[in-house]
Amino acid sequence: MKQHSKAFRWLIAFTAGIIVALGLFAAPLKSSAAEKTYQIGTDVTFPPFEYANDNNKYVGIDIDLMKAIAKDQHFKVDIKPIGFNGAIQAVQSGQIDGMIAGMSITPERKGSFDFSTPYYNSGVVMAVAQNSKVKSLSDLRGKNVAVKTGTTGAQYAQSIQKKYGFTISTFDDSSNVYENVLTGNSVACFDDEPVLKYAITQGTKLQVVTKPAEGTPMGFGVKKGHNAELLKKFNTGLANLKKNGQYQKILDKYLNVKKSAEDTHSFWGILKQNKTFLWEGFLQTLWLTIISIVFATIFGVIFGLFGVLPIKFFRGLSSTVIYLFRGMPLLVLALFIYTGIPTLTGTKIPAFVAGVITLMLDEGAYIAAFVKGGIESVDKGQMEAARSLGLPFGKSMRKIILPQGVKLMVPSFINQFIITLKDTSILSVIGILELTQTGKIIIARNLEGFKVWAMVAIIYLVIITLLTWLSNWVKRRAKI
């Protein structure tokens, strides 16, 4: 019973620590809400509606429009670069108050969103490579086309797919859509006319070969039945901007945008221009990794020790936790924590906190497994000998077994740090501005996917190489 109560105290202390930490992270959100600051989700990889400019500041029709309306209606906005699909889920779960991301107003979306007055009407066009023989929809039979997930272009392609007999490949980013056409994997792509024209202006070697079709209005969206006040403010502000001419100025600014003279497409030019942004993304990745591995280590050690306690309940609990979180895909776990739990509880979870919890559970399960394995690898006769000499279980574990088990665990801890560092890239799906998300935002502006991903890969490889050397050094010092 004494061991049973000790284990419970460990579990309670750990849970209390997590609650306190989450409270510290979430505290700023409460003060923001009191100041009437609305959290607005967006894509930031959909120029000219939303993207990062040469100074890596979020701009575009949607961004400028949202900020101008906020100023007109005397409220503040906190723009969240979550991505299109992430923003939809975040609105539906109550994590954010609304989204503006070039979202078309469709009957299906009206089932879960309340929309503003339309602020833009966009038509879908088809683009092909400059040297392509495909000139019309009838040339697509038996071929493959590329589209971006959730866009009007994707919906239009699906609506005519059977008629023209083509297959569809779907991507999360416009740059990947265009690259798929340029590499010849697809013969054409469908997208909103201003988006494709922006890409061509910026140097993408595509050409538009059809007239705009399927004009669909775009709107600002909030969760159905919620944030009626915000929706009213948006509509009122939009009407005011149209009256005073500011709305048209915003459209003209981005629909007629020219290629920036400062935006070079050479490898070193892109690196020089974005080095500060990439550095900030790397620091966020490193900070997220360190915080997560600390909590994951505490979590893993506790549940690893549970797995070797002479109490059936805790051994079963340890095995269940390890099985559950090692078996769940990290992407699914991240989305469940960030959007699923708030849907069930009605409580917002900041993206960074959701990311830390995700990595804590996933990486902690692996740590628990090798902590449990490290202890069990010590000869069982040593525990029996210690107990026969009159030492209690806890003291035998602390003085005899753990020192030997830790020797085997240390290199595994370093390896797990490396794995955690790489796994942070998954968290771009919930809008955390780590290194991978930073790369996506840069690519959205210059559409140089290969060069930017090469930079991101080099940064990861350098730090992982250093950590691998550290791991090997520890192994040699420990003579493992």
What one-letter code names the amino acid at 260?
A: S
With H, G, I as helix, E, B as strand and everything else as coil, classify residue 126: strand
Would you place residue 3 in the very low, low, confident or very high pLDDT band (cuts 50, 70, 90)?
very low
pLDDT of residue 371: 80
How large a percentage of the chain has pLDDT more than 90? 38
Query: How far apart are alpha carbons 40 and 238 in whole angstroms?
Result: 16
pLDDT of residue 27: 44
Residue 48, preceding peptide bond in cis (omega within 30° of 0): yes
Q: What's the rounded mean pLDDT across residues 143-159?
A: 89
The answer to whether the beta carbons of residues 321 and 365 sit under 8 Å apart is yes
Go through 323-345 and write b for each residue having 16 or more CB atoms within 10 A of its CB, e for each that does not: eebeeeebeebbbebbbebbeee
Residue 63: how many CB atoms within 10 A of its CB? 25
The lowest-confidence range among 117-131, 209-223, 382-396, 440-454 is 382-396
Residue 478 has pLDDT above 70, yes or no: no
pLDDT of residue 380: 66
List of residues 6+ apart from 440 with CB closer than 8 A: 45, 83, 173, 428
**2-16+267-478 and 120-217, same CATH topology:** no
Read off the pLDDT of residues 329-341 as tens digits, 9 standing for 90 and up.
999 999 899 888 8
pLDDT of residue 30: 42
**CATH 1.10.3720.10 is held by the domain 2-16+267-478:** yes
Query: How far apart are alpha carbons 40 and 78 in whole angstroms?
Result: 6
Q: What's the rounded mean pLDDT across residues 142-158?
A: 90
DSSP letters, 277-322, are HHHHHHHHHHHHHHHHHHHHHHHHHHHHHHTTSS-HHHHHHHHHHH
pLDDT of residue 450: 82
pLDDT of residue 322: 92
What's the CATH architecture for 37-117+219-255? 3-Layer(aba) Sandwich (3.40)
**CATH number given to 120-217:** 3.40.190.10
Read off the pLDDT of residues 373-388 as tens digits, 9 standing for 90 and up.
777 766 666 666 666 6
Q: How far is CA 441 from CA 47, 204, 229, 287, in A?
A: 10, 17, 31, 20
Q: Which residue has the higher pLDDT, 181 or 445?
A: 181
Secondary structure, 3-state, 182-220: HCCCCCEEEEEHHHHHHHHHCCCCEEECCCCEEEEEECC
Q: Report DSSP state, residue 104.
A: B
pLDDT of residue 398: 61
Strand partners, 189: 127, 146
pLDDT of residue 383: 61
Residue 395 has pLDDT above 90, yes or no: no
**Highest-confidence segment of 51-55, 173-177, 227-231:** 227-231
List of residues 6+ apart from 112 with CB closer than 8 A: 92, 223, 224
Residue 73: how many CB atoms within 10 A of its CB? 17
pLDDT of residue 304: 85
The answer to whether the beta carbons of residues 368 and 297 sit under 8 Å apart is no
Q: Which residue has the higher pLDDT, 403 or 284?
A: 284
Question: β-pairing, 120-129 with 206-208?
Answer: antiparallel
pLDDT of residue 5: 47
pLDDT of residue 345: 82
Residue 308, judged by CB atoms within 10 A of its CB (0-12, 13-18, 19+), counts as: buried
How large a percentage of the chain has pLDDT more than 70? 81
Q: Which residue has the higher pLDDT, 298 or 273?
A: 298
Q: Report DSSP state, residue 425.
A: G
pLDDT of residue 204: 86
Q: Which residue has the higher pLDDT, 25 or 36?
A: 36
Residue 118 has pLDDT above 90, yes or no: yes
Read off the pLDDT of residues 208-225 as tens digits, 9 standing for 90 and up.
999 988 678 899 999 999
Would you list the domain boundaries of the chain? 2-16+267-478, 37-117+219-255, 120-217
Q: What's the rounded mean pLDDT across residues 454-467?
A: 89
Query: How far apart are alpha carbons 377 and 382 in whole angstroms?
Result: 11
Q: What's the rounded mean pLDDT across residues 306-320?
A: 87
Would you place residue 33 in the very low, low, confident or very high pLDDT band (cuts 50, 70, 90)?
very low
Would you place residue 141 in the very low, low, confident or very high pLDDT band (cuts 50, 70, 90)?
very high
